[in-house]
Chain A
């Protein structure tokens, strides 16, 4: 009771002081006008929100593609049959390349580069190819997460499955992957949150997402409040996800402790 009260008071005092220092600074009125202008915020809000809706759609689509494609990569990498060696090697090279190159560079390369080729039969939109770049890049990380989950499944589970006559694929499908996926949920949640923000990279190739819309507003009015609106929308989306990630991580740790103890 008393510790809680002390905590509450100290938070109020410290944050109050900080607010007082900031707002009493000489430059505060200018900052407020440039970044926290209510009128500008209200004016920019509908378009930024519309852009944010694009972010959310791209996020979910890319996420679904990443989860599936990364699983394919991880499975190929963990199959042990000797004749699979060239495919394993391909996956290793793939992961090295797409983890090593900045996502922004990939987005530029795919989003501007491929539409410029005018390839017949393929979509020509920057949005499509930018999203492809995001999928390729993120899948490299997620494949490694899956793989760590697969490696963490005890070797005895493989031996048991094999001794029962399950093929290598059946062993993965029925014995290993279900346990591996459960192991990596917390790690995946962090990727989900990171991707939610990184979709904004697509704004550099002209996709009219929240950041792009806010920038357009900024460019015409020389006022940055629209960017703050976009930031607020991102926070609104990412903070609950981050809390969910924390919760799942905690629950996972408790489950492990229970098994261990």
Chain B
């Protein structure tokens, strides 16, 4: 479904992604792990073209993400992203947040967009908050709205960038439960996470990114159980030492 083929990305002089290759099959869930600054967010952002990569190709069902066939918004309709800091529009209530793109970008009527919006909110237990503003919600609630917003256009792929990292510990569970639900529905996902427990039981495959290079990728059992690369081992040891595995 997604084919990342020897992708290289520089920020100025700095090499951030170095010939990264990764394939994600339909309905597959791939977790990206790695130290801060290893390029995880950048790789995700290249997939939905928030960041333009410099070399290599990223294809969605065989079509390069920078192919004009996607038009201005075709890619964004099929590949959605959720951010660590929620990034809900602070001046809009929940319903306006999630219906903005369907109405303004995809030409739906207000009634049509709001009908679907209420359905999606209900699914995530946010039905009662349609008229609330982001600042009135807890972090977990905001993140659930952000997930709802990403799913409004029925994307085929969901990119999640450390979506629980900014949450209080007791709110992490409610968000992860939603992601497990999406996996059960067959959503294809690329997930950057520091929640190794979650990666272990939710991912079909885990890829370890180090200094812009995918050093190792494998099933969670093998990657967490018998890592091959010394740097993977060292990374996992640090995680274990800090009590997060």
State whether the Cβ of A163 lies closer than 8 Å to any Cβ in chain B.
yes
A224-261 contact mask (Cβ, 8 Å, vs B): 1 or 0 = 00000000000000000000000000000000001100
**Complex-state Cα separation, A258 to B153, whole angstroms:** 33
Main secondary structure of the interface of B (DSSP, over half): loop
B105 near A179 with CB under 8 A, answer: no
**From residue B32, how far is it (CB to closest CB) to chain A in Å?**
17
Provided the pairs A165-B76, A165-B77 are in contact, do residues A174 and B87 lie with their beta carbons within 8 angstroms?
no
B interface residue count range (under 10 / 10 to 19 / 20 to 34 / 35 or more): 20 to 34
**Complex-state Cα separation, A164 to B85, whole angstroms:** 16
Q: Which of A159-185 contact B (CB under 8 A)?
A: 159-167, 170, 174-175, 178-179, 182
* A interface residues, tally (CB under 8 Å): 20
Interface centre among A159, A164, A175, A179 (most CB of B within 10 A): A164
List the A side residues contacting B63 at CB < 8 Å: none
B101 near A165 with CB under 8 A, answer: yes
Main secondary structure of the interface of A (DSSP, over half): helix
State whether the Cβ of A12 lies closer than 8 Å to any Cβ in chain B.
no
CB < 8 Å A-B pair total: 56
**Complex-state Cα separation, A163 to B101, whole angstroms:** 10
- The listed residue (A163, A179, A258) touching B80 by CB distance below 8 A is A163
State whether the Cβ of B73 lies closer than 8 Å to any Cβ in chain A.
yes
B50 near A156 with CB under 8 A, answer: no
List the A side residues contacting B101 at CB < 8 Å: 164-166
- The chain B residue with its CB closest to the CB of A167 is B72
B88 near A160 with CB under 8 A, answer: yes
| Chain A residues packing against B (C-beta within 8 Å) | 154, 156-157, 159-167, 170, 174-175, 178-179, 182, 258-259
